[in-house]
Amino acid sequence: MKKFFVHVFIGVFIVSCNNDSVKSGVFVENISELEASINNAKPGNVIFLKNGIWKNVQIKFKAEGVENNPITIKAETPGKVFIEGVSNVKFGGKYLIIDGLHFRNGYSPSDAVIEFKIDKKTIGNHCTVTNCVIEDFNKMSRDDADRWIQFWGRHNTLKNCYIKGKTNRGPTIRIDLKGNEHINNYHQIVNNHFGPRPPKGGASGETIQIGDSYSSMSPSYTMVANNLFEECNGEVEIISSKTNFNEFRNNVFYKSEGSLVTRHGNYCTIDGNYFIGDGKNENIGGIRIINTGHWVTNNYFYNLKGKSFRSPLAVMNGIPKSPLNRYNQVTDVVVAYNTYINCDAPWQFGVGQNLDQKNVLPPSEIRSSRPLRTLVANNLLYNEVGDKSPIVEHDQADGVTFKSNIINNKNVEFVSYKGLEPKVFGLNKVSDHVFGATGINDVEPYQGFEFEKISNDLFGNSRKNNNIIGAIVSIKDPNILDKTKYGPSWYSDEVEAKEPKTIKVSAKDSFQSKIDEANSGDIIILNQGKYLITKPLVINKRLTIKSSNKTKTVLYYAGEENSSLFQLHPKGFLALENVYLKGTTTQQAFASLKENMYTHFGLSVTNCEISDFDFALKVYKQSFAERITFKNTSISNCENGLELSEETNDKGDYNTEYLTINSCQFTNVKQNVIDYYRGGYDESTIGGNLILTNSSFINCGAKEQNGILINTRGIVNVDISNNTFKNNPVKLVALLWGAKNNYHVNNTISNSGKILVEEHLKLKLMY
């Protein structure tokens, strides 16, 4: 203890003399000193963590501050205290603050990285996490679920933080309401930057989840405001609101593949948000409405091309007498004063209607209850290229009333709706992505019940003297993509592009040594020759490996049985070009790790030859690649081809988001020629994408046990076009899912069975 106080005294003295950011408080250098300081903390105390790496620390922040004198754990210098290894933070008490920490290179030993609870009796209230970064802090396997921030208690806040890179199961942030001490919580999630969350390849990849289906009737009053959601692509729901009385205000959703969804619960306010697409990506959505009493006002939608579940405004059908965890009917919803610029089919009603699947689904899954008492008023639509279907009715929209909406559709005719009137008006550019309308002052807005409460526009301007329709009354630049407005002041996610280095390798060199020498993004050039490889080549960074002439550059793999020539690790992204790969029939050309695939990998193979392997590609369970591509490549004399079918837990998971095969030749591949699997009936997983084009399959599938050459069970998006199938001893070339986006065009099939389309596949229910 004496040594401890000496350290504290010296630390405080040094810091007070040399670091202007540290004015007072206790300075600690290790977890023991931190725990002692927490135990002795009084209101107003600040505990400074010494700069450096704090590894394998489990911080239980149990203390009692007061409203104007909180207790704070703070980085000596914000951004220079790194929490790594098996580490987490738990709050227990009142008026506590965590400030300026950077979580990286590790994972939580529990269900959360930061949790506002130590145990059932020790809960955090009025606690704050601010000015922190959490990046790539993933569990070691994809199915090992956790949350990075888990809210309990009441009046807790996450603000000015940067959070990115979650790839394992579980929402990035979850608010729990199990118990009276957690409802009416008034939590705040404000001024944060949610950086990229890559596709998870299955359900449970939300960025924010507020409650769950079993607490969905509870009041939460959570505020999510002034945040930037950038490329949050985890799943179809970016935000999943599952409780009552939540508010979503002034957030920016930028190129994020999904939607803000009122999944369960009622009476949400969704006001003043921006939804910005790229004009191409059909996965970028807007707002999806389920349940009762929501107000959707003053929102701005730009360049969105999402369909159905991901349309700019998707109003769903419900299930009669729905179980808590499914879909309640939409009733008493107001959609008013919103602006839609260059959005395809922006209003879609009856989304999810599935009466045609009644033969393969139980009644508890049939969404037949149409929206009732839904008012769509004073909205503005503009299309640079006219849209023949600005309103899509998946089921009758007879419970929807349209009032004083206008559309400039460039004179393109559309189905007429009373309350949506064509009008010629112009646009004024406010800034990149943001446009205001001109020439609409003569349109009389509809004055609905309590519409006087919509008192300000998207920018906060008063509507009192100029209550025109649409989201914008008067124009000013909102600077929505100024990243200094979000997240910690000390952190930037802007990375300076580096010129890739070129490394030349000859057959005499140690290939793995050259790979280890390279930095991520570098290019390895193979000289002509025959390379004898006896151990797997480990790829754990982004590399391009190529030669100038594939016929004269051969990688001959003589490694152990069931090992792989290229072993793809987490963060291993390999682009291979112009190389001939040859095995001894018992190994894999490419494979992920069997375990500890804690984040994504990627593979692109172009203009290569692959022969005499057990597997051309083997992707193991809980491994995920956003993209796997084979182009102008031949695969021959292999026992198995491309095998991505180990996610058999039927929870909606799959091994890659995009599998693209173009202009390839498959010859004498005996089974699993292409085996790509997604199991479970789950509309949150509207993914899995196979593009198979301009390729040939000859004498393949001789050992295929199910008699299907191309296996795509449960994959939602499948394009099999312009291929040749010849002398493949199978019953079917493919079994496609007609009700989904599966189709085949211009394929030549001889002595190979046929392509069968089954409208409704029976899948295992996940719920």
Rounded to an integer, what distance in angstroms lies between the CA atom of residue 456 and that of residue 464?
Answer: 8
What CA–CA distances, in Å, run from 584 to 483, 593, 615? Answer: 53, 20, 11
C-alpha torsion angle, residues 245, 251, 255, 259 (rounded to 10): 10
Rounded to an integer, what distance in angstroms lies between the CA atom of residue 548 and that of residue 577?
Answer: 9
| Residue given tokens 């993914």 in the structure block | 687
Rounded to an integer, what distance in angstroms lies between the CA atom of residue 87 and that of residue 70?
Answer: 24
Phi, psi dihedral angles at 213 (to 5 degrees) = -60, -30
- 576 within a domain of the structure (yes/no): no
Give pLDDT, residue 466. 85
Rounded to an integer, what distance in angstroms lies between the CA atom of residue 3 and that of residue 7?
Answer: 6
Residue 33 per-residue DSSP state: H
Report whether 646 contacts 655 (CB < 8 A): yes
- 153 within a domain of the structure (yes/no): no
Report whether 177 contacts 185 (CB < 8 A): yes
Rounded to an integer, what distance in angstroms lies between the CA atom of residue 624 and that of residue 200?
Answer: 8
Give pLDDT, residue 22. 42
| Residue given tokens 């593949």 in the structure block | 257
* CA 513 to mean position of chain CA atoms: 35
pTM as predicted: 0.94
- 398 within a domain of the structure (yes/no): yes
Token reading at 514: 């050259």
- 142 within a domain of the structure (yes/no): no
The number of distinct structural domains making up the chain is 1
Give the residues across from 149 on adjacent strands. Answer: 114, 173
Angle ∠(662,667,670) on CA atoms, nearest 5: 115
- 300 within a domain of the structure (yes/no): yes
Domain span at 448: 268-489
Rounded to an integer, what distance in angstroms lies between the CA atom of residue 57 and that of residue 218?
Answer: 35
Report whether 192 contacts 172 (CB < 8 A): no
Three-class DSSP category at 6: helix
700-732: b or e for each residue (b if 16 or more CB lie within 10 Å)? bbeebeeebbbbbbbbbbbbbebbebeebebeb
Rg (CA), the chain: 28
Report whether 70 contacts 41 (CB < 8 A): no
- 479 within a domain of the structure (yes/no): yes
Is 385 exposed, middle or buried, given 0-12, 13-18 or 19+ CB atoms closer than 10 A? exposed
Angle ∠(336,338,339) on CA atoms, nearest 5: 150
| Residue given tokens 């172009």 in the structure block | 606
- 414 within a domain of the structure (yes/no): yes
- Intervals of the chain under pLDDT 50: 1-23
Handedness of CA 497, 499, 504, 510 (dihedral sign): negative
Q: Tell me the residue length of the chain.
A: 767
Report whether 648 contacts 679 (CB < 8 A): yes
Give pLDDT, residue 157. 98
Neighbours of 639 (CB within 10 A): 17
Q: Which amino acid is at 17?
A: C
pLDDT digits (tens, 9 = 90+) for 524-565: 999 999 999 999 999 999 999 999 887 789 999 999 999 999
HSE toward the beta carbon, residue 394, CA cutoff 13 A: 26
Q: Which residues contact 743 (CB under 8 A, 6 or more apart)?
A: 718, 719, 720, 721, 736
Q: What is the largest CA-CA distance in the chain?
A: 86
Give pLDDT, residue 24. 61
Written in H, E and C, the secondary structure of 541-560 is: CEEEEEECCHHHEEEEECCC
Handedness of CA 459, 461, 463, 467 (dihedral sign): negative
522: nearest Cα among 513, 514, 530:
514
- 473 within a domain of the structure (yes/no): yes
Give pLDDT, residue 18. 40
